[in-house]
Structure 1
Amino acid sequence: MNVVVPAPALPAARTRLRGPAAAGPWHLRAGPGLAQVEETVRALLEPHLGARLLPAASDVPGPELRLTLGQAPPPPRRTVGVAPGGTSEPVDESYGLTVGQDGIVCRAPTAVGAFRAATTALQLIALAGPDGELDAQELSDAPRYAWRGLLVDPARCFVEPGDLRRIVDLAALYKINVLHLHLTDNEGWRIECRSTPSLTARHGAEKKAHYSVEEYAALQEYAARRYITLVPEIDLPGHCATLRAAVPGLPDAPAPQGLAGRFPYVPPLDLSDPRTRTVVREVLADVCAMTTGPFVHIGCDEAVGITDAGFAQAVRALCSLVREFGKRPVAWQESARAGVTEQDLTQYWVDPDMMELPATAEELAGRPELLVAGYTMELVGALRRFFEPSGDDVRRVLAGGGRLILSPQSHLYLDRGYAADITPTARAADAARLGFPSYRPRDVRHTATWDPAEHGIPEDRVAGVEATLFGEVLQGIDDLTTMLLPRLASVAETAWSGRPAGWEEHRAALAHHGRLWTRLRLAYFPATDVPWL
């Protein structure tokens, strides 16, 4: 039975071996050109093998995990999408893997392919059955989507640098290659900008809760060694309360007639104002200069309280500044209303149906999660009007020649709570506390069976897939990983293969992975629709 997630594309027939014994000592060897990969793979193996991972110079007998560059089987899939490393074509992440009498050999034409193969080998070794023996087999694998991302939200729930490195290691284990950091919002500004120190100024004895220039550089280097690109998000022109507090006196953007003062929201920034433009320019110059990857995310979502013309002007200004500073802008789907070009990368997250808004007061009365969140029919009506234009955003992107990162709130927003019918009794309080209040809770199968094709977007216009975990209700790393796991592994499966695995096969494989997370000291949610071992 397959235990690897994502499942390899082309597993060959297997035969039982008397060896290697996965439970015994292992050597890690790497061929020329893979010294850095070997170092990183050793670090990933250590939590799972401990003393069974032998020192490089050891002569103790044992099977070998060997990483080599060179001829590998033809890629079993054609990779499509946008390469997060900024190359014009997706990088070659394909690999072949052979389990034989003497151990495991990973073959790949590139270093990143060798690294992906090593994460497959890690899972095979760490999840070996009770007899400790591996099946003889040959695997051939490659990703379908070049962009396979995860968003975490330090703006609402700050993630310490050490914990963020743990998330990077988790992402690498499942072949995720983008870590999108939602660094700014109304609740906080989490990246040092030396042009505007007031954004992260400490107040009295308050604990530092942002990444310094040096910490951010170190995080990027750590991620790069695991072939993960960091994409910072500076969310504008809305979601700007922290910036407004740090730089008082910035004028409000012009509001649509009759909206100002009717609902609680932070007025968006007016990018036509010279002082505002100067502040934003300095901030983006800092962030672009600090970022080693090619992308900077500019937000552009939920800009409540700005006219259409003001919003379009703001989006164009933000895109222009990021390009001026040598980076490629990424934005949420609302940005498409300002116009789209073939160079634009747009993140699709919502349409009117995904909002699941009640049509009547009776329907609202039957939605306890909305009542707890304070919804009224007046608010429901306002939300319906606000999100109505989202139904045309994908069409706008496609008409303009842009590409879409698929992050549908309906399935890939991992701040969605776990359904009561798959919640163990002992975890009922966690399930009730951690889910975003206005989202209908779902089971693990709901995420695992999502199919990118269901949105009807031509595959050559799909940049990739990205799960998101916003942090409004999270209180620390354990909350964060509880919401990620097990569902992140399911998203990674679909992002790598391009389609969902069969549910019964996937849940059987997933059942083994709680052991991996336990060894990594990562909290997870033991949903009862997975038969945990």
Structure 2
Amino acid sequence: MTTIPAPASATIGDGCFTFTDTTPLTADPALDRAAGWLRQALAPATGLQLPEGPGGVEIRLVEGLDPEAYRLSATTRSVVIEATGQAGAFYGAQTLRQLLDPAAFRAGRTADRTWSIPEITVSDAPAYGWRGCLIDVARHFLPKNDLLRYIDLLAAHKLNVLHLHLTDDQGWRLEIRKYPKLTKVGSWRRESPLGARRHRMYDGRPHGGYYTQDDIREIVSYAADRFVTVVPEIDLPGHTQAAIAAYPELGNLGTPLDVRTDWGVGENVLNVADETIAFFTDVLDEVIELFPGEYICVGGDETPKTQWNASVPAKERMRELGLRDADELQTWLMRHFTDYLLARGRKPVGWDELLEGGLPPGVTVGAWRGPTCAAMAARAGHDVVVSPFAETYLDFRQAEGEQEPVPIGSVTSLRSIYAFDPVPPGLAERDRILGAQAALWTEHIDSPRLLDYMAFPRLAAFAEAMWSEERDFDDFLVRLAVHEKRLDALGVEYRPAGGPHPWQQRPDAPGHPRTRAEIDAQLATWTSNLHP
């Protein structure tokens, strides 16, 4: 069996089930979404219409399976998918598609074929409930149609969360009706760095774009039809220079700023005035309206305190509240927004820096600074989504050598991604680990083609690591050779095993490769002052 991710169990027989022009498809009404998707997905490439009717392919409602679990059985006479929930039926349909020839993933017919799948019995369920991918559309905007394509790619790999990083110093990507200058001013910058920032090279090209509210409704609906939840991120109180450029009164300097044209952590952060808090409360009102999922991320990471320490109003706010320092001021500010979301029935997500000031119950922690932070959050009673930068950041280079485009960070290889375990060693509170997500930060990923290169096939390996309890990397490589034909059919420009094609290299954009020892040293510095 060549499917990715690998199922929990599968037994393959000697025969096959062959589809014909008259093969029917029927589904229990409670599982009709999976049937509708399967017809829509297969018809363009296969010509199979799968008319309504008994026999042939059947999607049955059964009791007792987890919502994302399914069973699939194929004989020479019929195919049956059994599930308790819509998501499980959908994943069974995804597996059925992978059992066909890779040409089934094309958008049109290429030749006359016999479409068949092997006799098989599959029983399957995911290892983790949160199987996500963060896509940073703030640093480099991803047009709507490319984002919809990525939702299909996530769903094809049974990933179920798209964490959409919508705002940062370098761009604001979400239309907010009450504050139109957030996109009129904040959605574009005059130029971008060319390669790693240490080289001080710039491309001289304006960059921008944003999603209208109808775009977002379309994206959220499209994702929901594929059982992908979109988690928006509005980063606070740092990573906010694009917002301050649009509305200077949000900042601490009292002078106009441009949308930031450098990467890295910027010192321009929000002020702590009541008016600024009200402004972003208004923003979150519209975010809640647009994103119906449980989770909303409010950031909280990488917030320099330089401006607050020099700000008279910030110091007055600290005295008024009896706070010892600017770190406690950030905790107070972020508690306003997390409490606000909790009061409205949403689950706030914040990066693990928020642990340093204490978090109220109900806040989910995005643990990006390694297993120490993930374990601290779980032991403190918080749900945790694990996304350690050294293991799951897909903007890090894939191999040694100058051939990798804009090589940054240490090497995050296909093998290491496949071996990733989101549960910190020795953690008793395993049930607090919701799962994990890979991250496509886009400072150095400036096009959909480069996004493909950095994501695949590593994202396929990550998907299997999150889905499959048992893993075998050598077997994965055998299946990946077939899976790459599916990616070819979908037009995904993945990294070949032997290294990039000439056109996938970027000699014009030098990077900043680092060793794993350097990364580990940085991680140790970040976590040295944390206390369990």
- With the shorter chain as reference, the TM-score category is 0.7 to 0.9
Distance in 2 (CA, whole Å) between partners of 1:157 and 1:183 is 10
Alignment of 1:118 with 2:93, yes or no, is yes
2:464 to 493, 516, 522: 493
Distance 1:240 1:403 in 2: 26
Report deviation, 1:70.
2.2
Instruction: Label 1:299 to 1:56 Cα distance change in 2 as closer, same or farther (>3 A).
Output: same
SS in 2 for 1:249: helix
Q: Distance in 2 between matches of 1:515 and 1:36?
A: 27
**More deviation, 197-206/162-171:** 197-206
The corresponding residue for 2:61 is: 69
User: Paired residue for 1:176?
Assistant: 159
- Structure 1 residue 167 and structure 2 residue 150: aligned? yes
Q: Which residue of 2 aligns with 1:404?
A: 384
1:22-171 paired onto structure 2 within 5 Å: 27-46=24-43, 50-54=45-49, 56=51, 64-71=56-63, 92-127=67-102, 134-171=117-154
Match of 1:20 in 2: 17
Q: Which residue in the other structure is 2:340 paired with? A: 321
Change (3 A) 1:190 1:142: same
The answer (yes or no) to whether the contact 2:422–2:433 under 8 Å persists in 1 is no
Of 452, 455, 480, 1:481 maps to 452
Letter in 1 for 2:83: A
The verdict on how the C-alpha distance between 1:232 and 1:486 changes in structure 2, with shifts beyond 3 A counting, is same
Q: TM-score, normalised by structure 2?
A: 0.77
Rounded Cα–Cα distance in structure 2 between residues aligned with 1:505 and 1:105: 26
Provide Cα deviations, 1:151-201, integer angstroms capped at 9, x if missing partner. Answer: 101111211111111111111111111111000001111111111110001
Instruction: Give 1:336's aligned residue.
Output: 355
Query: What is the rounded CA distance, in whole Å, between the counterparts of 1:404 and 1:194 in structure 2?
Result: 32
Query: What percentage of residue pairs aligned between the two structures are identical?
Result: 30
Q: Are the structure 2 counterparts of residues 55 and 21 from structure 1 closer, same or farther at C-alpha, using a change threshold of 3 Å?
A: closer
Residues 425-446 of structure 1 show CA distances to partners (whole Å, capped at 9, x for unaligned) of xxx64x233x4x2x01232111
Residues 220 and 229 of structure 1 are in contact (CA less than 8 Å); yes or no, is this contact kept in structure 2? yes
Q: Pick closer, same or farther for the CA change 1:157–1:58 going to 2, 3 Å.
A: farther
Task: Kindly indicate whether residue 396 of structure 2 is the aligned counterpart of residue 416 of structure 1.
Answer: yes
Q: Is the 8 A contact 1:237 1:300 kept in 2?
A: yes
Q: Return the offset for 1:476.
A: 1.6
For the residue of structure 2 that corresponds to 1:473, the secondary structure is: coil
1:46, distance to aligned residue in structure 2 (A): 4.2
- 1:348 counterpart = 2:367: yes
In structure 1, what residue type is equivalent to 2:385? I
Q: Is 1:4 paired with 2:3?
A: yes
Q: Which residue of 1 aligns with 2:489?
A: 519
- The DSSP-based 3-state class of the residue aligned with 1:149 is strand
What is the CA-CA distance between 1:29 and the residue it aligns to?
Answer: 3.5
- Seen in structure 2, the aligned counterparts of structure 1 residues 395 and 134 have a Cα distance that, compared at 3 Å, is closer
> Which amino acid in 2 is paired with 1:192?
E
Are positions 1:432 and 2:405 aligned together?
Answer: yes
Name which of structure 1's ranges 454-463 and 188-197 shifts more when overlaid on structure 2: 454-463
Q: Secondary structure at the match of 2:214?
A: helix
Taking structure 1 as reference, are residues 520 and 92 closer, same or farther at Cα in structure 2, changes over 3 Å only? same
CA distance in 1, matches of 2:379, 2:265: 34
1:448 equivalent in alignment to 2:418: yes
CA contact (8 A) 1:416 1:442 kept: yes
Amino acid aligned to 1:344: V
Question: Hey, what does 1:291 align to over in structure 2?
Answer: 291
What SS is found at the alignment partner of 1:266? coil
The one-character-per-residue Cα deviations of 1:34-84 (angstroms, maximum 9, x if unpaired) are 33322222233346xx1432253699xxx943322125xx65xxxxxxxxx
Q: Distance in 1 between matches of 2:338 and 2:52?
A: 52
Q: Is the 8 A contact 2:126 2:468 kept in 1?
A: yes
Say if 1:495 and 1:323 are closer, same or farther in 2 by CA, change over 3 A: same
Cross-structure match for 1:233: 233
Q: Quick one: distance in 1 between partners of 2:460 and 2:8?
A: 16
- How far is 1:485 from its partner? 0.7
Taking structure 1 as the reference length, the TM-score comes to 0.77
Tell me, yes or no, if the aligned pair for 1:30 and 1:67 is still in contact at 8 Å: yes
User: Aligned letter for 2:3?
Assistant: V
CA RMSD of aligned residues (A): 3.0
SS in 2 for 1:116: helix
Distance across 2 between alignment mates of 1:26 and 1:483: 39
Deviations 1:318-348 (A, max 9, x none): 2122224442101111111221344221011
C-alpha distance 503-392 of structure 1, shift in aligned 2 (>3 A): closer
Q: Is the 8 A contact 2:364 2:384 kept in 1?
A: yes
The answer to whether the Cα contact below 8 Å between 1:444 and 1:529 also exists between their aligned partners in 2 is no
Deviations 1:387-442 (A, max 9, x none): xxxx8634542342112111111211111111037xxxxxx64x233x4x2x0123
Cα offset, 1:30, TM superposition: 2.5
Contact 1:270 1:314 in 2 (8 A): no
Give the CA deviation at 1:454: 4.7
Quote the offset at 1:132 in angstroms. Answer: 6.7
Measure, in 1, the Cα distance between the counterparts of 2:38 and 2:265: 49
Given the superposition, is the C-alpha separation of residues 54 and 132 from structure 1 closer, same or farther in structure 2, using an over 3 Å criterion?
A: closer
Alpha carbons of 1:394 and 1:34: their partners in 2 closer, same or farther (altered >3 Å)? closer
The corresponding residue for 1:464 is: 435
Local SS of the residue matching 1:159: coil
Contact kept? 1:104, 1:121, Cα under 8 Å = no
State whether residues 116 and 175 of structure 1, in contact with CA within 8 Å, keep that contact through their aligned partners in structure 2: yes
For structure 1, which segment, 236-245 or 323-332, has the greater mean C-alpha deviation from structure 2 after superposition? Answer: 323-332
| Count of paired positions | 445
SS in structure 2 at match of 1:511 = helix
Q: 2:270 is matched with which residue?
A: 269
Deviation of the 1:298 alpha carbon? 0.3
Aligned-partner Cα distance in 1 for 2:22–2:397? 41
Query: How far apart, CA to CA, are the structure 1 residues paired with 2:68 and 2:290?
Result: 27
1:109: Cα distance to partner?
Answer: 1.4
Q: Contact between 2:244 and 2:250, CA under 8 Å: does it hold in 1?
A: yes
3-state SS of paired residue (2:446): coil
Amino acid at match of 1:505: D
Cα distance in 2, alignment partners of residues 350 and 25 from structure 1: 55
Q: Is the 8 A contact 1:175 1:492 kept in 2?
A: yes
